Structure 1
């Protein structure tokens, strides 16, 4: 981007417009044929990304807007609330004060302490863990969605265009970036023995569940995994046979057991990365319900249950009732795009309700203080202050835990829509047939065609959504019984 510059990128956009508006400029056609519309849009967005990274922050504009934190009391405020002590000599008082500043001092747990509230400032968050992840996630995701939206509009206006859809790579990078953040969170918890044992337990449990889902996917889910696997194997063997025309290769039906085990291993690793984010979301959800009004309670329930609606739409009995039933409420393309719409709606609900969830997390410091005041005995001032400040210092990690599970399903849903060639209007898409002579024999476009991509991303969406919803439900049940 630095080598091209903003003015060159604008020139490329103008060239692209001229190529569509005119039929006389052969040089313009040569430029747009070499670059393509999607590449030009990507260059523009990369330029915007480089400018916005230093001048604009969505963290301040939206994520932390309207949030308030509880301020830990200072030592002087704690001393003022403590009962009076016996007068001592000035020298002894000075020595005692120095010892208290270095080692701390005891205060009664039932001290009548009233916490002050202050708005959350982005400047303070920059020193916390996972702030860079929150910043880049909030910057990259809207731009990736913008590129995707422009690409979809271009495809709708010019369906005959054969340019490489770069928005797919933006979505894949977004999903990879989300997984990288989840891996960092998992590594953060892996150091503790208790958390490590919990992660291993969930990984083993969901490995077994993933194997069962993969084995029974074609019977209970509308995914067609085996059909896509057979199609991919046949295409790969046909391409290799064409490359080695002198020595033809015998086509052998491969057992998909290795595929099942590989998918189960990947999804079990994914489940370990999603354990604590969904536990955190369940805690936020249960505590946000306590102070919510009836309308917000309805929205909170809707946000929590929308992933289950997406899972239900993948079940074959539901598909049979909606598509092949006596009333025929939906067509098959409409049902397929409805799954994508529900996933997008789930993310929008989380973004809409982010203030209620994140504020319920910040309110945990007040709840912990209230529980402490009901106990007898004493506590060190340092321990009390760190207990109140701890939740605020963990806010960036809580934001990541709140957003990444829904974002991962969101990226998978958009990849399913694009690579599976679904229509936003719920109509049956017409695929342009390319001349086989123009497609390389070992082309990825030939191997990973519409049926293979639809099965892969459908399975990824179902497993990810199922993991998120099931772990959140387990966390909600745990919170209800533990009284959190």
Structure 2
């Protein structure tokens, strides 16, 4: 086809749909405010509710006279700040999360843009794949989807930035060890390559998403009343670890594609079928993690209740503003937490699609594009696509590893160092 082929036409069509339909039909809004999610947030107590627990101010006769005179003239007194005891018997009201609540949250526009853009770009990709399947002689070899990545985090304290730098350095050191592993053990397809800095960056970016997921997983298990739900959460948590084993030859590829078992004349699957299975498992993991996401987000929203409960065990006083802020802040950062949960999944999913497209993979277990042998030292242009394929494959594996590794570190912290 021409330079402006079917991929360009589908892309422009989906861009138009996104601009027209996006404001009215949003996947991001549906995931947080639909009946499927059923998220409940806690409302902060009003000043009137807190004044019931506030002791009356002690004033002399002159101050009382001034207050009565001000009230008579309709002039408000004070700045509205007063103190209440920390251990008051306070019950928080609850309400379902609505769209009107979400639009006021921090990073809501970024969250909505990322998820809606990812959804429409995925539709663009599959439409291009369908066209290539129906008309293989007219299909283009170009990658027919928009690649989306998330790499931003704003820390409000120097300690958070320090943690990101430390974790990035740790992943950098580990990546340097991984890249010298023999190809017969770990499928990198890279030989000796300078990808350590890239791996360190990915590890740093996945630090806070992993720690946040670990905290939500810990809280979900801690207050779960169903053993079945606990098992489902455990499956979702270890799923990224299972994905990482798909790149370790002695554990998965060799037993499935090379070994011939008793009473069998051939291996369980071919190399091409193994590649397709790996892609399907990544898709299944992403969908499963989306399915259990409401449970994790609800455990985060429940932090408002737990914070107030912990406050009741403390002595002293707290101002009404600080108490209200303690409850409001949890819901205010809901979109930030959701971004930390979803962004790694989107990045892994699109890296796997990039690996499938550049490698000529297929959804039915056969290579759509024959692969040529390429020497690691040959500077021929035909090796460029192969090297790019290897990089995308290794990046997919490394993101799965960093995704699980950061979460495992978070679980270790919650187990041994958390007060709860």
Structure 1 residues not aligned, in runs of 5+: 1-31, 227-255, 434-441
* Residue in structure 1 matched with residue 10 of structure 2 by the alignment: 41
Shift of 1:165: 3.4
2:160 matched to 1:195?
yes
Alignment TM-score, normalising by the size of structure 1: 0.76
Give the direction of change, closer, same or farther, for the CA distance of 1:468–1:217 in structure 2 (3 Å limit). farther
What corresponds to 1:455 in structure 2? 390
Conserved 8 A contact 1:39-1:166? no
How many residues are aligned here? 396
Q: Pick from 66, 74, 77: which aligns with 2:49?
A: 77
Match in the other structure for 1:305: 238
Displacement of 1:198 in angstroms is 1.0
Per-residue Cα deviation, 1:61-89 (whole angstroms, up to 9, x for no partner): 23332211111101110012346677974
Quick check: 1:165 aligned with 2:142? yes
For the residue of structure 1 that corresponds to 2:243, the secondary structure is helix
TM-score norm. by structure 2 comes to 0.87
Tell me the alpha carbon deviations over residues 209-237 of structure 1, each in whole angstroms, 9 at most, x when there is no partner.
111111115242123212xxxxxxxxxxx
Please report how far the alpha carbon of residue 112 of structure 1 lies from its aligned counterpart in structure 2 after TM superposition.
0.4
Q: 1:348 to 1:374 in 2, by over 3 A?
A: same
Return closer, same or farther for 1:453/1:478 CA change in 2, 3 Å cut-off: same
Counterparts in 2 of 1:430 and 1:33: CA distance versus 1, 3 Å: closer
**Residue 172 (structure 2) aligns with:** 207
Q: Once superposed, which parts of structure 1, at least 4 consecutive aligned residues long, lie more than 6 Å away?
A: 84-88, 93-97
Structure 2 residues without counterparts, runs of 5 or longer? 262-266, 373-378
Change (3 A) 1:52 1:90: farther
Q: Distance in 1 between matches of 2:65 and 2:92?
A: 31
1:218 corresponding residue in structure 2? 183
* Match of residue 227, structure 2, among 283, 286, 294: 294
Aligned to 2:260: 326
Whether the 8 Å CA contact 2:359–2:369 is kept in 1: the answer is no
Alignment match of 1:63 (pick from 29, 32, 46):
32
Q: Deviations over 1:386-425 (max 9, x none)?
A: 1110011111101100100111111111111111111212
Equivalent-residue separation in structure 2 for 1:72 and 1:405 (angstroms): 32
Write the distance in 1 (CA, Å) between the matches of 2:315 and 2:113. 45
Matches for 1:238-277 after TM superposition, within 5 Å:
256=192, 259-260=193-194, 263-277=195-209
The alignment partner of 1:374 has SS state of coil
RMSD: 2.5
More helix by share: 1
Q: Which moved more, 1:354-363 or 1:211-220?
A: 211-220
Query: 1:120-173 CA distances to partner (integer Å, 9 max, x unpaired)?
Result: 2233332332111111112111111111111111222222224253524x1x2x
- Match in the other structure for 1:155: 132
**Distance verdict in 2 for CA 1:325–1:40, change over 3 Å:** same
Structure 1 residues 35-44 or 144-153, which shifts more? 35-44
Give the match for residue 238 of structure 1: none
Asked whether the equivalents of residues 309 and 342 of structure 1 are also in contact (C-alpha less than 8 Å), the reply is no
1:412 lines up with 2:351 in the alignment: yes
